[in-house]
Chains A and B, each alone.
Chain A
Amino acid sequence: MLLALALASIPLWAPRFWIYIATQALIFAIFAMSLDLLVGYAGLPSFGHAAFYGVGAYACALLALGHVDGLVPLLLAGMLGAGAAALPIGALSLRTSGIYFLMLTLAFAQMLWGLAVNWTSLTRGTDGLIGIPRPALPGLDTLNVSLYDRGPFFFLCLLVAIAVFVVLESLVRSPFGKTLEGIRENDRRMRALGFPTFRYRLAAFVLAGMVAGIAGSLAAMSNGFATPDLLYWTVSGLALIAVVVGGTRSFIGPALGAFLVLFAQLGLSTYIDRWELALGALFIAFVLFLPRGLVGLVRRA
């Protein structure tokens, strides 16, 4: 709770640029949390989660450019679009496990990236969809609060992030969550007990995809564009790193990891010249000194 309050205060004191960075970090945190539902709780290391982040962004972008103006429909579009993509991909990928699953999800994500680059009639290829308007807030217009100002949009992202955090935390404590953990621990035993493990895993995969889709639509709204880069494997890589840096089997971990990774990446690249060297060294240091991530630190203490 303390963290949520601290975050809520950001728009009051932080300079405009850092509010923008914080907003991006919140969106990335939602994305990283959805990934940890897979990696930490369901034991499914996905290297292609950016596919659903990107599909969510494109779904929201296409709808927004098609004159849909409501906030909720746009978020829903991102969520359902990503979920629709996650179902077939999950159904196919879950036939494999371990490193094969990792590679298969990477393959599907790169296929969607190839599609985004080449299906120019829909996605306008490498130029991407730009000029996406931010939706009007129902009812709040009278108080002339619009999502175009940085503060209100930050609060929207914060609210969605907290909502996602609460939903995911309760999900993993629910019977469904416990069953998921059981399947992660010992799939053979769960099948012997009568659990159709494939369906549970697929449900987890689609759920994680939908949450990533929400993050995607927020990203499309925040930056006003949806480009193929959102689906590229480096985005999946960064999300995986945020989860590892933050520490798996928790949601506060990946959220912290997301903030750290994004502040490091955006902060370093705009401030120092050889930012790749610094970022690379930071990642290596993290693995050496905190193999179980930030949360691991807390747990061990």
Chain B
Amino acid sequence: MDVLNLAHGSFYMIGAYTAYTVVMATQNFWLALLVAPVLLAVIGAALEMVFFRRLYRHGHLPQVLMTFGFTLVFVDLIRSRFGPTTRAIPPPPGLGGAVHLATATFSSYSLFVLGIAIVIGALLVIGWRLTRLGVVLRAGVSDKEMAGLLGIDLPRTFTFTFAFGAALAGLAGVIAAPEFAIYPGMDANVLILALVVVVIGGLGSIEGALLGAAVIGLGYVIGSTLFPQFAIGLIFALMAAVLIIRPSGLLGRRS
């Protein structure tokens, strides 16, 4: 929806910490999988209505300033509430070990993550393309004025879209919690990767984001085995290459 949100990483972090709290309290990972997205949707909706709504007509730069502010606020709130210690939660029961397929061994939790990613990806693509809601959202994103003329309640659509995005980020946080460490600064590194993925895929296209994620994921893994030092640099080189060949991303519409 053409909003440059640097605080999206914070939603991911809040999702991870929600997972930590829920798992510590109830030992039930699946419950966290539900609680986090709902919590993030509420936070997302509130932020959109109170803060972001005024910014749509000012272009990207004020959005950078505001969302940068939010990242600072969120990281401080998390650190003062949970303390700076690095925390971790074990993968849900049954997914802790490793699976041996032929010669390669895969950690079963990684396979689980792969599975969930595919399922959610598919749901999103279907939802985005086929359902009425998806069409409405796409209209709202592609041409605000036209959508307004067609009687789409724009403010509500944007609030929903933003909240939905925040919920997804929260979900990603929960899924990532057992895989990575949970600590107050964890939002920074995922944010850059997420922005890279979205841009490589092409803005405004869900399939693009999925494709971008696959390209970056493979690029990172291959990169770190070939020359581990420069893996991070490799991802950006990949992004640069894609943007030079197709200036609006792999599946992006010509802006």
**A residues apposed to B, CB below 8 Å:** 39, 45, 47, 92, 95-100, 102-104, 106-108, 110-111, 114-115, 118, 233, 237, 240-241, 243-245, 248, 274, 276-277, 279-284, 286-288, 291
Evaluate contact between A107 and B196: CB separation under 8 angstroms.
yes
Most chain B beta-carbon contacts within 10 A, residue among A47, A92, A96, A276: A276
Q: Give B43-81 interface residues, CB cut-off 8 Å to A.
A: 51, 54-55, 58, 60-62, 64-66, 68-77, 80
Interface check B208, CB cutoff 8 A? no
Q: Report 23 cross-chain contacts, Cβ distance below 8 Å, ordered by A residue.
A: A92-B244, A96-B243, A98-B60, A100-B252, A100-B255, A103-B196, A103-B199, A104-B243, A110-B192, A111-B233, A114-B233, A114-B236, A240-B65, A241-B64, A277-B76, A279-B72, A280-B69, A280-B71, A282-B69, A283-B69, A284-B66, A284-B70, A287-B55
Evaluate contact between A45 and B61: CB separation under 8 angstroms.
yes
Evaluate contact between A237 and B236: CB separation under 8 angstroms.
no
Summed over the interface, the residue pairs from A and B with CB atoms below 8 Å come to a total of: 131
- For A109, the closest partner residue in chain B by CB is B236
Interface check B15, CB cutoff 8 A? no
Q: Give B1-22 interface residues, CB cut-off 8 Å to A.
A: 2, 4, 6
Most chain A beta-carbon contacts within 10 A, residue among B54, B61, B76, B232: B61
User: Considering the chains assembled together, what is the distance between the CA atoms of A97 and B224 in angstroms?
Assistant: 31
Interface check B195, CB cutoff 8 A? yes
Most chain B beta-carbon contacts within 10 A, residue among A45, A244, A279: A244
User: Considering the chains assembled together, what is the distance between the CA atoms of A96 and B202 in angstroms?
Assistant: 12
B6 CB contacts on chain A under 8 angstroms: 237
Interface check B178, CB cutoff 8 A? no
Q: Give B232-255 interface residues, CB cut-off 8 Å to A.
A: 232-233, 236-237, 239-240, 243-244, 247-249, 252, 255
Interface check B106, CB cutoff 8 A? no
Give the 8 A-B CB pairs with smallest separation, nearest first: A114-B233, A280-B72, A283-B69, A280-B73, A277-B76, A284-B69, A107-B236, A276-B76
Given A118-B229, A276-B75, check contact A103 B62 (CB 8 Å).
no
**B residues apposed to A, CB below 8 Å:** 2, 4, 6, 51, 54-55, 58, 60-62, 64-66, 68-77, 80, 192, 195-196, 199, 203, 229-230, 232-233, 236-237, 239-240, 243-244, 247-249, 252, 255
Interface of B is mostly: helix
Given A108-B236, A111-B233, A111-B237, check contact A281 B69 (CB 8 Å).
yes
A284 CB contacts on chain B under 8 angstroms: 51, 66, 69-70, 73
User: Considering the chains assembled together, what is the distance between the CA atoms of A106 and B54 in angstroms?
Assistant: 26
User: Considering the chains assembled together, what is the distance between the CA atoms of A118 and B69 in angstroms?
Assistant: 30
Evaluate contact between B62 and A291: CB separation under 8 angstroms.
yes
Evaluate contact between B72 and A111: CB separation under 8 angstroms.
no
Question: Whole-angstrom distance from the CB of B141 to the nearest CB of chain A?
Answer: 13
A110 CB contacts on chain B under 8 angstroms: 192, 232-233, 236
Choice from A240, A248, A277, A291 contacting B64 with Cβ under 8 Å: A240
Evaluate contact between A103 and B70: CB separation under 8 angstroms.
no
